[in-house]
A and B are shown apart, each in its own frame.
Chain A
Amino acid sequence: MSTVALEVRNVIKTFSLDGGKINAVDDVSFKVNSGEFVALVGPSGSGKTTMLSILAALLTPTEGQVLIDGQDLSRMSEKKRVVLRREKIGFTFQSNNLIPYLTAKENVEFMLRLNGKADRAGRARTQELLARLGLSDRLHNLPAQMSGGQQQRVAIARALIHNPTVVLADEPTASLDTERAYQVVETFANLIHENQRAGIMVTHDLRMCQYVDRVLMMRDGKLVQVYETKDEIMALANGGVH
């Protein structure tokens, strides 16, 4: 029985540019259930990063609502949104993901510290999760001593360790070679499914869609197409790079 973790209702985000206005996100609605992994794709400038920023409570929508666990974050104070970000959201960024002066383990544990849960059990789970991601021998390495793929996996661990409702990933494979990219996204997908998180991944690389349950395609700020069946998704994934 899966529940709705994230709901987007008629979200519009308008930016003013040189007097003119543009709707970077234009009347988008969708839902993501817990245990579901969704890809957000579309050409450059179609509004993917803007959409992700809104889901992460980093940007407020001009109109519409975003509900995480039923809470409307478009109406929240900045203070509450900070709390929501650390409790309910997990995040991986395209690059500069990790805190450079913390080791792999410390970077993941930091998420627990933020939530006041860096106890013995939390530390043990950190170690387990990093092992699961193949990083047992990198626990005490600083980001600068790890490859891009290893850093990306540490970021994935950090995005999952505190049992968030929603996990957001912006271009998690952008700095990885194809082989690594497949591995990382597959593990990511497995963890999201096992732990019943709602996962949303922005990607340019349509091949990565083979691991997701649904693909949302955006163009000019609008949600133009949804690929839901396994066949549709595989056809899209095999079509190549967008």
Chain B
Amino acid sequence: MGLSTYLALKEIWRNRGRFLLVALVIALITLLVLFIAALGEGLGTNNRQYVSNLDAQLVVFLDKSDFIITSSRLDQSTLKAVRRLDGIAEAGPISTSSTAILLPDGKVLKVSMLGVESGRPGLPPVIEGRTYQTQLAKEVVIDRNVALRSDIKVGDEITIRSTQGTKDEFFTLKVVGLTEGQAYFFAPTIFVPPSTWERVRPKSEAEASKTIPDINVIAIKLDDPSQVEVMKARINATVSNVQAADIATTINNIPGYSAQQGTVQTQGVFTLLIGVLVIGGFFQIQILQKVPQIGVLKAIGSSNAVVGLAAVIQIMVVTAIGVGIGGLLTYVFSLFFPPTIPLVFNGQASAFAIAALLFIGPAGGLVSVIYAVRIEPLKALRLS
């Protein structure tokens, strides 16, 4: 061990330029992998944040809607039927739509507008200001991200532009509260009472005179959160034309969520593979150049274990240095990234990425280590 470490470190130090170069390549790969992981996490968060933060254990969908929130349509009688069931603490209707806020400077900010009842699952905790008072109020609770991007404050009035039939209609709503971290479907979110939602939301000509809001899904908070499976079965059996899903299923069926996470993960895996090849290539070439000296090492009495371990230690040290530099670079770069880019450096995802990166060194170098162990000491005499 001592002897191997000695050889490995001496060689790295005396060829520090060359090894630094490989470490920098590993650093760049690290940077890429960490950013891809952060992007995956960021995109995922933006997509699922609202759903995963719901104060609910089950979500009720229209039967055969494939658990897709936007394809599900429920009516008020279904909501009543669900509320009558035993074991349900709260049931909050959720209606979704996309609209835009007109900003004072003439710009437009796209938002998800959700119609949810105050005090029921669906409306997240208000961190500043208050929630809206009645189900008809011309009031809105906005996500802090909307406030940050637009300079809107609690107490301001905002103008919503919404296409109804063939015309653009404009509605003025008063901002009464802020919530935190509530992106749904990539857009930051604003919350309005159900009746207001029905009035403001974009609709077709045919729907123009509707006043009773359609509901997409119902978020259910259970009396006993451990009874998810039982309650799911009960809802499916008792209420007609619905299917209930737990939160994880709901997230996985957010349109594009699984495909997007799959794409990002594939990119990450391919980047790691490139890393394996780069490291493998470098150390293989290096070991080929080192055949005579490894022959000498063995001829004068170094064991295969010493030579092999030295190769492993060297690869691990270089990889660790590269990953360290890469981690540092990632941190520095992340400080300069605008908040609009969805990068989330989540401890778990980054830790997993770093573990994978530290593993690619030995994986890539394995062939060269085996090669080193197999070199015959006789090479020292025959190769001149």
Contact = CB atoms under 8 A, between A and B. Distances in A.
Interface of A: 49, 52-53, 56, 58-59, 79, 82-87, 89, 91, 93-102, 106, 110-111, 113-115, 142, 158, 170-171, 174
Interface in B231-246: none
Contact of B296 (A93, A113, A115, A142): A93
A82 B303 contact: yes
26 contacts: A49-B381, A49-B382, A53-B378, A79-B303, A82-B298, A82-B302, A84-B301, A85-B299, A85-B300, A85-B377, A91-B299, A91-B300, A93-B380, A93-B381, A96-B292, A96-B383, A97-B296, A99-B7, A99-B296, A100-B14, A101-B11, A102-B14, A113-B6, A114-B300, A142-B14, A174-B384
A114 B3 CA distance: 7
Interface in B28-81: none
B26 to A, nearest CB: 21
B226 interface: no
B10 interface: yes
B381 A111 contact: no
B378 A96 contact: no
Contacts of A84: 301
Contacts of B7: 99
Nearest to B301: A86
Interface residues of B, number: 26
B301 A83 contact: yes
Q: Which 6 A-B pairs have the closest CB atoms?
A: A86-B301, A101-B14, A85-B301, A96-B292, A101-B11, A94-B384
A138 B377 CA distance: 28
Nearest to A115: B301
Contacts of B384: 93-96, 171, 174
B10 A101 contact: yes
Interface string B292-331: 1101111111110000000000000000000000000000
Contacts of A171: 384
Contacts of A87: 301
A58 B381 contact: yes
Given A95-B384, A99-B296, 10 more contacts: A84-B301, A93-B299, A93-B380, A93-B381, A94-B384, A96-B380, A97-B296, A99-B7, A101-B11, A102-B10
A52 B297 CA distance: 17
Nearest to B382: A49
Nearest to B378: A58
Given A53-B381, A96-B384, A113-B6, A101 B15 contact: yes
